[in-house]
A and B are shown apart, each in its own frame.
Chain A
């Protein structure tokens, strides 16, 4: 398990993206953010960290941060001590990446108090969070009811092609997997 660094200087100056390192989809996205955030000088515009397994280490990053909450929703910890969650966290990440900041300003557009692009991003985040089990996220728990038929279908197709998966003993049980490298390279 990768420990969470508490590099004070970095924490003060850069937003920190926390991701679920048990979820394959989240790892791939974090890897992409990590690669996109780098510049020629080697500095990164955003720090990418796995949530990890130590609640106290997370509280050193932000005293108001509960580890269960960090796993439930994507979090970006801001240098001013505030936190962005869900779709707002995604917008914050896009605002900090050199390749995406040119369009990320659109999420702040407000029309009569509504932020249409931010609202669309919020919905997109909720859908992405729900469909992660389709892409093989074993740590995401019981899929939402509307996703279950797709998960069953994919498991059926995999079993036809000989890729068997060990069934869980109960619906509320996560089988222990062998230890593996969980963090994107370079983190």
Chain B
């Protein structure tokens, strides 16, 4: 279990993490990068106008940094890619879908924006 200090994401002066550990994919790059990708992959379906996604962003960046040697992280902007969101029956944002060798193995809707809960959400499906 993470301690309280590690559970709080570190912010820059303007409130965002300096490095983007999550690559944005769209309908044309989703197939080669996610569905044909090897190993554990986490895709966040999000929208910039969703404040819960804003709260998740810092947390997910830190989690992605922590597990970058084991898992790849991508994001899909549902406002720009409504068809892709529809294909995966996304009900709202943020939704995390875990893929293993192109197959969905787990899904979490609206996880609590803390490092420990997001870390659990994105690692547990690959352990079972």
Contact = CB atoms under 8 A, between A and B. Distances in A.
Contact of A68 (B48, B77, B92, B109): B48
A22, A169, A173, most chain B CB atoms within 10 A: A173
Given A168-B92, A172-B110, A173-B110, A141 B55 contact: yes
B92 A169 contact: yes
Contacts of B55: 141, 172
Interface in A68-92: 68-69, 71-72
A175 interface: yes
Nearest to B112: A172
B4 interface: no
Nearest to B110: A173
A22 B16 CA distance: 21
B92 A72 contact: no
B110 A170 contact: yes
A20, A170, A171, most chain B CB atoms within 10 A: A170
Interface string B77-100: 111101001000011111000000
Interface string A46-60: 000001111100000
Contact of B48 (A55, A168, A175): A55
A68 B49 contact: no
B49 A21 contact: yes
A61 B108 CA distance: 35
A1 B82 CA distance: 11
Interface residues on B, range: 20 to 34
Given A53-B79, A54-B80, A172-B113, A139 B15 contact: no
A10 to B, nearest CB: 23
A53 B15 CA distance: 19
B49 A139 contact: yes
A66 B11 CA distance: 13
A173 B48 contact: no
A169 B92 CA distance: 9
A186 interface: no
B80 A53 contact: yes
B91 A176 contact: yes
Given A51-B48, A174-B51, A174-B92, 16 more contacts: A22-B49, A53-B47, A66-B15, A68-B48, A68-B57, A69-B15, A72-B54, A139-B50, A141-B52, A142-B52, A169-B109, A170-B110, A172-B113, A174-B53, A174-B110, A176-B78
Question: Sorted from nearest, which 9 A-B pairs have the closest CB atoms?
Answer: A173-B110, A141-B51, A170-B110, A22-B49, A175-B92, A172-B110, A53-B79, A174-B50, A172-B52
Interface of B: 14-16, 47-57, 77-80, 82, 85, 90-94, 109-113
13 contacts: A69-B15, A139-B49, A139-B50, A140-B51, A141-B54, A169-B109, A170-B111, A172-B55, A173-B52, A173-B94, A173-B109, A174-B50, A174-B110
